[in-house]
A and B are shown apart, each in its own frame.
Chain A
Amino acid sequence: MSTAVQNIISLDRVIHEPARLILMALLSSVASADFLFLLKQSELTKGNLSVQLSRLEEAGYIEIEKTFRGKIPHTEYRLTKKGQLAFEQYRKSLGSLFK
């Protein structure tokens, strides 16, 4: 099997889905972000965003922290170490495909 074919097969399918890919890209460049930020930047619907975030959390790629900003409940999302490594690996694999 050629390296190119291996690279395509080994692409992380959790990240490869476009909606999740954009969420991983957004979270990769910040320490954490809230739901509204991800909603505005990704232009997904609320329902779709919730589903995709849950899927990424199940895969262990993001973690959720519930805090308070003043008296208002606030939920922040951040990439885990595993998520960071998976995203870096995904980008490397993707880059090597088009060389």
Chain B
Amino acid sequence: MNEQIDHAIKGVRGYWFVDGFTEIATGGLFVVLALAALLSGSSAPSTLPAWFLSAAGVISLVKLIGILAAVLLLWWLKDHFTYPRTGFVKGTRLSGSQILTILRNVIFFLLLPIVGLLAASLLVASVGPVVATMPVWFPVGLGLVWAVLFVLAGEWLGLQRFRLIGIMSLLAGAAVGLWQLAIGLPVFPAKMPLEISQPVVLESIHRVLTSLSFLVLFTGLVLIVSGVLTFLHYWKENPTPYGEQV
């Protein structure tokens, strides 16, 4: 009986994703972000700090406006489409201690391994060569992290399709990493002359941004497709608002 109660609770948790709008909005935001990053990466100023500030500025602005627009659009769509068909629900607010626990876990499980790996790499090589391998490893790592997050979220929300999205992210990360490998970028830090280290760092950061942008773009498209399919299914099941049904 407790399993059936858990199943019902999972169904309620996943209600926010029942119409596909959240995936479409998130996917759209990912696509816009990826395109902004690709565009800002292609018009690179000559010095690293100037380029970094320019790219970070553009991406932060797009992120800020994009998130705000996506949230407002979602509210409007839910209010006018979803709630009249399948009802209104207000989610539980997270307490301060719950937010702290989530933050602690995110830091522990996501950041520490990355920092640990970077620190370990720095012990065996200097910064330049390590950075040179990042275009290969970063998308693989991010694809893996997203895959784990999607699978865990799918488990918690009772949404099977999130597993598939997770697998697609993992494959996309691996594909982008292989693509960077195929164009001749190193997989392992190797010794290189100091005089070419600075251009290598700049070029490597460019390539990291480019490869991550393609991963974000692909994941965004996957989310949009998933959202549209979910929306079509929801619409078929609930063609008219409840009050207008005969």
The chain A residues found within 8 Å of chain B, CB to CB, are 21-22, 25-26, 28-41, 69, 74, 76, 91, 94-95, 98
Contact = CB atoms under 8 A, between A and B. Distances in A.
Nearest to B5: A25
Contact of A25 (B9, B88, B90, B91): B9
Contact of B5 (A37, A76, A91): A91
Contacts of B9: 25-26, 28-29
SS of A interface (majority): helix
A33 B87 CA distance: 8
Given A29-B12, A31-B90, A41-B87, 16 more contacts: A29-B92, A30-B89, A32-B89, A33-B87, A34-B89, A36-B83, A36-B88, A36-B242, A40-B87, A40-B242, A41-B8, A69-B83, A76-B90, A91-B5, A94-B2, A98-B2
B64 interface: no
Contacts of A26: 8-9, 12
B87 A36 contact: yes
SS of B interface (majority): helix
Residue among A26, A29, A95 with the most chain B CB within 10 A? A29
A41 B11 contact: yes
A76 B83 CA distance: 13
A30 B12 contact: yes
A12 B214 CA distance: 55
B90 A32 contact: yes
Contacts of A91: 2, 5
Contacts of B92: 29-31
Nearest to A91: B2
A31 B8 CA distance: 15
18 contacts: A22-B8, A25-B5, A28-B9, A30-B89, A30-B91, A31-B91, A33-B87, A33-B89, A33-B90, A34-B83, A34-B88, A36-B88, A37-B15, A39-B87, A40-B242, A41-B8, A74-B88, A91-B2
